[in-house]
Chains A and B, each alone.
Chain A
Amino acid sequence: MSDSSTVSAPATEKQVQNNLELRSKSQAPSRRVLRKFFRHRLAMFGLGLLVIITVLAVFAPVFAGYDYAEQDLKNTRQPPSATHILGSDSFGRDVWSRMLYGGRVSLQVGLLAVGVYIALGILLGSLAGYYGGVVDFIIMRGVDVVLCFPTLMVIIFAVAILGPSLTNTIIVIGLLGWPGPTRLVRGQILSIREMDYIMAARSVGIPDRRAILRHVLPGVLPPLIVSATFGVAGAILTEAALSFLNLGIRPPEPSWGNMLSQAQELVILEQQLWLWLPPGLAIMLAVLCINFIGDGLRDAIDPRQRDY
């Protein structure tokens, strides 16, 4: 077993760093956070790769070479070659082009679904935290109830009823994610609400709505950004899983998840790796990058982390 020196030595090194940071306290806190974030190696790796993925997805028509739905029934399931970098699928469609357009779907679902539930979370969490009492009780019991459901099962249930589509995928993921941010916002507001500057705002007659928007929410934002980042990663995974089960994005519209869905056919799984390996790796890399960024942000923002 390791002796205590291995445990405490890096801590002292960190302390030195903290002292240095204390000395340069004139810097704004936001700049300190940014500097810490940019020093996080995994986060920088993630950010770099994600930028590349995003550029490829956003400018898909430029990099694709083929339309994602363009069929070539004479050349189906061709292995990678000069004409098709990643080969072609069962309808002779270019796998590389479908990958790029699929990336658009993933990023879109990730950002929009998380946007929906973060907005809901801010609204409900502010109401619960600021007003307390009955409002708080009802909203928080709502949180408890939603947290009792296995998200994917409810999503599947809802999709069975609403029908699978891009919009429905975004809506359903968005409507189920609000408990996390609601709790977060409420908790933060409960602690901020008691602070002197809020009391001051109230005492000079600033209306509640403005007090929340202008003075309380900015304090809530940093942890919310961290949770939203991990949320995007989760939403991308959920969309991929749904599409894999044929309950999300439907072909011919490509999504990394539904591209993998073909590999449930044993011939494809065994002999046509180019059809399922690239989209699977793409999901994994994209999600990994976003998780690294989230970790970097949390390390930079969370003051507790600085103790070690």
Chain B
Amino acid sequence: MTQYLIRRLLISIPLFFGITLIVYGIYALAPGDPLTAILGRDKMALMSPAQIEKMRHDFGFDQPVIVRYAIWLGSALHGDLGYPTTGSKSVLENLQERLGPTLLLMAVSLVLALLFGIPMGIIMALKQYSAIDYILTVIAFANLSIPSFFLGLGMIYIFSLKLNWLPTFGMSTVGDPFSWGDLARHLVMPSMILGIFNAGVWARYTRSSMLEVMHADYVTVARAKGLQERVVIFRHAFRNALLPLITIVSQSLPGLLGGAVITETIFQWPGMGMLSWRATINRDYAVLMGVTLISALMILTSNLIADLAYAWADPRIKYD
């Protein structure tokens, strides 16, 4: 296990550098002069060529791209991700502020997706080829196929505009003191919309995984022992069917973070997704680099944790 752990950690190092390389690479694709992008055309026009040359040198823009990458990486490793084009807070401070709301949203949507998806999958597997199986299959596919923004608009239309039950934007009602109930009401729609895709994925996954396990020899043995069907299903089949879910859940993280961009934009949820959308509209590269870098590192870490958790949970994994 220790050896596996070390191996797995070591392989994360090139991945980390790969991630930073891609983030910087996309940025380096930007057309036009980086100094103009920072200072703006008007300011540049007022400066003498010598001044411009000096600033170019101070920012390091006269260096080759690989050196600039190294400089950026160096400061990023020290937590310096630069400053956005607007506001006085650094990119890192912005991210710290936005991380909490996004993680909350993602966590709630994950739990919702698991609560809906897994029971759905189990029912489908136990009633294979029945009418229920068909109906749930169609529902699961609908979950996979409905665009989150369309569902979001539909839900706002029904639950906010027509029924007036749920708030349409933000994390809390403006002017009201903080309360958990208020936060929960604001969370309902965004988290459902963010979670619906995964609920469909996991329902389908659980179905096929359960079916596979139900035909495994050890389940037949459990039945042959005369165990109750309930025990066979939940103690023997279910546990093994859900084991790979550790990996599947971890693999859903990129999708959740990407989906957060849409969900947060629709519901004005003050998280990283909305931050990155705003930054795109403002062409705020420092923020975009920061958000992308942090998201990728979060995913890298969670994949690592998931692999280790899986190795711990499934003794069949060989550590070589």
Question: Taking beta carbons and an 8 Å cutoff, which residues of A are in contact with B?
Answer: 1-4, 6-7, 10-11, 42, 141-142, 144-154, 156-162, 233, 237, 240-241, 244-247, 257, 260, 263-264, 266, 269-270, 273, 276, 280, 283-284, 287-288, 291-292, 295, 304, 307-308
Contacts and interface: CB of A to CB of B under 8 A. Distances in A.
B183 to A, nearest CB: 23
A2 B285 contact: no
Secondary structure dominating the interface of B: helix
A148 B257 contact: no
Given A149-B295, A244-B262, A308 B137 contact: no
Interface string B104-135: 00000000000000000000001111100000
B137 A42 contact: yes
B26 A156 contact: no
A139 B252 CA distance: 22
Interface of B: 11, 14-15, 18-19, 22, 26-27, 29-31, 126-130, 137-138, 141-142, 144-150, 153-154, 156-157, 161, 211-212, 214-215, 223, 229-230, 233, 253-259, 261-262, 265-266, 273, 276-277, 279-281, 283, 285, 288-289, 291-292, 295-297, 299-300, 303
Contacts of A150: 253-258, 295-296, 299
Given A141-B18, A153-B273, A246-B281, 18 more contacts: A4-B223, A148-B300, A150-B255, A150-B295, A150-B296, A154-B22, A156-B261, A160-B288, A161-B30, A240-B149, A241-B147, A241-B148, A270-B157, A270-B161, A276-B153, A284-B146, A287-B144, A291-B144
B230 A1 contact: yes
Contacts of A308: 128, 211-212, 215
A11 B289 CA distance: 53
A150 B102 CA distance: 14
Contacts of B233: 1
A141 B127 CA distance: 41
Contact of B295 (A7, A153, A247, A260): A153
Contact of B229 (A2, A42, A145, A266): A2
B30 A260 contact: no
B292 A295 contact: no
Contact of A149 (B161, B211, B265, B292): B292
Contacts of A264: 153, 266
A161 B253 CA distance: 25
Given A42-B137, A148-B254, A148-B300, A240 B29 contact: no
Contacts of B223: 4
17 contacts: A6-B126, A142-B18, A148-B300, A149-B22, A150-B257, A150-B258, A151-B254, A152-B259, A156-B276, A157-B280, A158-B26, A241-B262, A245-B265, A266-B161, A287-B145, A288-B142, A308-B128
Nearest to B27: A161
Contacts of B296: 148-150
A81 B19 CA distance: 53
B280 A284 contact: no
Contacts of B258: 150-153
A284 B196 CA distance: 14
B128 A284 contact: no
Contact of A159 (B259, B280, B299): B280
A162 B149 CA distance: 24
Contacts of A149: 19, 22, 254, 292, 295-296, 299
Contacts of B142: 284, 288
Contact of A152 (B26, B262, B281): B262
A156 B127 contact: no
A105 to B, nearest CB: 14
